[in-house]
Amino acid sequence: MKKVTITDVAEHAGVSVTTVSMVLGNKGRISPDTIEKVNQAVNALGYVRNRAAANLRSNSSEIIGLILKDISDPYYAQVAAGLCEETEKQGYMVFLAQSGDDAKFEQCVLTMARQGVGGIAFCPTNENQQVNAEALKAHDLPLVCISRASLNQPIDYVGPDNASAAKLATEYLINQGHRRIAYVGGKSSSLCRAERVGGYCSTLMQFGLPFKPEWVVECESGQSPAANAVENLLASHPQITAVLCHYASTAVGAVHGVHRVGGTVGKDNIFNKQISIVGFDAVQEAELTEPPIVFVNSDAREIGRQAALRLIEQLERTDTTSRKVIVSPSLINHT
């Protein structure tokens, strides 16, 4: 079939090509009757607008770029889902790229700029990535950084309140009667971990409980490293009654670590000497533990939605002042 052109629409509607273009671009003062005639012609002929060409002519774009380090990461998959839901609701589409390392991140930004995206939301390749704000702004694109840790750069930022999340988790355990609480997971180089450990430490001090550095243990993400770390920790310090876990996978692995030293997981730390486990940012595989693990969540989907809204506000010039949007944590307790 012959491709329907804007000229065909104009002839069918009995108006000029310029009038059709103005109606499709929602520009100029066009009478309602003329708009209706053009839209009827578009529907009757099955005309498909060339969005890319329209974007070039209007110097705008309905495409938003999203750069993730690893699209298989459950946390950032939820971020992407939230961002896509909001952008599609607002009439935009998402161009997704996986950056991997720092060098590829810069290439992703350049490629997206060349493809004419209207703005870019990005997650740093690691929590300690030195984001070159000036280099990014040189592309003259709205930008939003989505991160698990604070970013001290003049760029829009959307992320969780890690210190408050750790405070919420620690207070929950203290209110359950725990006085000997450990922290397991993450690396000392992690800014996210530093913020959470800071919240954990300050809460212990607030309640007059001692902070013991030997109860704060690093380990890789994943269930196996966590199981080993918790097993060794409890074997060396059997007085510990609760464990805060840096990753969801750390919390699941911690259950196995408790079992290896002959312990059980639960809330009864007085009579049965059970070990309580609290994790951050629950994922689906953590829902099947018995008993269910308590989690403190910083809603990744909501973080994605807020990042989309900030980009669209910049694109539509409703709010171009760079600012931080912090998503508050909440306690998820299925028991």
Domain check: are 83 and 139 in the same one? yes
What pLDDT was estimated at residue 2? Answer: 63
The pLDDT, as a whole number, for residue 114 is 80
Contact 162, 140 (CB under 8 A): no
CATH code for the domain of 145 = 3.40.50.2300
Q: Do 285 and 169 share a structural domain?
A: yes
C-alpha 169/C-alpha 180 separation (Å) is: 14
- 171 with 292, same domain: the answer is yes
Q: Which residue has the tokens 């939605």?
A: 305
Is residue 55 a part of any domain in this protein?
A: no
Asked if residues 109 and 133 have their Cβ atoms less than 8 Å apart, the reply is: no
Mark whether 142 and 37 lie in a shared domain.
no
**pLDDT value for 167:** 98
**pLDDT given at position 317:** 76
pLDDT value, residue 53: 47
Same domain, 235 and 280: yes
Please state the domain count of the chain: 3
Residues 187 and 207 in one domain: yes
Cβ neighbours of residue 188 closer than 8 Å, sequence gap 6 or more: 194, 218
Q: Residue 28 belongs to what domain range?
A: 6-49
pLDDT of residue 287: 63
| Encoded tokens for 57 | 């002519």
Please indicate, yes or no, if residue 74 is contained in any of the structural domains: yes
| Three-state secondary structure call for residue 288 | helix
In total, the chain counts a number of residues equal to 335
Q: Do 202 and 283 belong to one domain?
A: yes
* CA 256/CA 260 separation, integer angstroms: 6
Per-residue pLDDT of the chain (335 residues; tens, 9 = 90+): 567 888 888 899 999 888 888 888 776 678 889 999 999 998 888 887 655 445 434 445 688 999 998 888 888 899 999 999 999 888 888 999 998 776 788 888 888 888 888 889 998 877 666 666 677 777 778 889 998 777 767 788 999 999 999 999 999 999 999 999 999 999 998 889 999 999 999 999 999 998 999 999 999 989 999 999 999 999 999 999 999 999 999 999 999 999 999 999 987 666 567 899 999 987 666 566 677 889 999 899 999 999 999 998 888 876 667 788 999 999 988 66
Q: What is the pLDDT of residue 1?
A: 54
Judgement on whether residues 90 and 131 belong to the same structural domain of the protein = yes
Q: Assess whether 170 and 279 both reside in one domain.
A: yes
